Amino acid sequence: MRLIAPALLGLLCMAALANDGLPKGIEQMPADPVADAPARLIFSRDNNAPNACDVELYVNQQVVAKLGPGEHSSLDLPSGELSVAVAMSPDGYCAGHGPDVAQSVILRPGETRQFAVMVEPEQVFLAPLID
């Protein structure tokens, strides 16, 4: 009996302390992102392109934007796996023919990813930017 009373007192004290906030310097884990929160893709093109031709951005094989030199585009998209690609615009003297290669991107809910549109004399492609 003598050992039971101190053990119960210890358990009661621990239960009371468990209800207090976290110790100083320890942060609570952030909440999980909302399952249906959109993700964001940001595409940017610098001014130093070898030509003034527009490029087209493709998401899941659909044109979603056109970018000229120095322009950028921000797209809110559903999370999950997406196909992204870029190609010279078929308009004007550039006469592009659509994307050659697509990249697979897996986006988590609420995630933001950035890509640079790289235009070289014979090709155009996407380069991921790392924060």
Average per-residue pLDDT in the chain? Answer: 78
DSSP letter assigned to residue 34 = P
- Across 31-78, the runs of DSSP E, i.e. the strands, are 39-45, 55-59, 62-67, 72-77
For residue 42, give the nearest of 89, 88, 77 by alpha carbon. 77
Q: 120 pLDDT band (50/70/90 cuts)? A: confident
CATH numbers and ranges of domains, the chain: 30-129 (2.60.40)
Please provide the DSSP assignment of 70-119 as one string.
T-EEEEEE-SEEEEEEEEE-SSGGG-----S--EEEEE-TT-EEEEEEEE
Distance CA(85)–CA(63), nearest Å, equals 9
Worst-scoring range by mean pLDDT, 9-18, 29-38, 71-80, 109-118?
9-18
Of the ranges 26-30, 94-98, 119-123, the best mean pLDDT one: 119-123
- Indicate whether this model's pTM tops 0.85: no
Contacts of 68 (CB under 8 A, 6+ apart): 45, 52, 54
- The number of angstroms, rounded, from the C-alpha of 89 to the middle of its chain's C-alpha atoms is 25
Between 34 and 87, the higher pLDDT residue: 87
Q: Output the pLDDT for position 27.
A: 47
Which residues, other chains included, contact 19 with Cβ-Cβ below 8 Å and sequence gap of 6+? none
Residue 97 has pLDDT above 50, yes or no: yes
**Residue 35 reports pLDDT greater than 80:** no
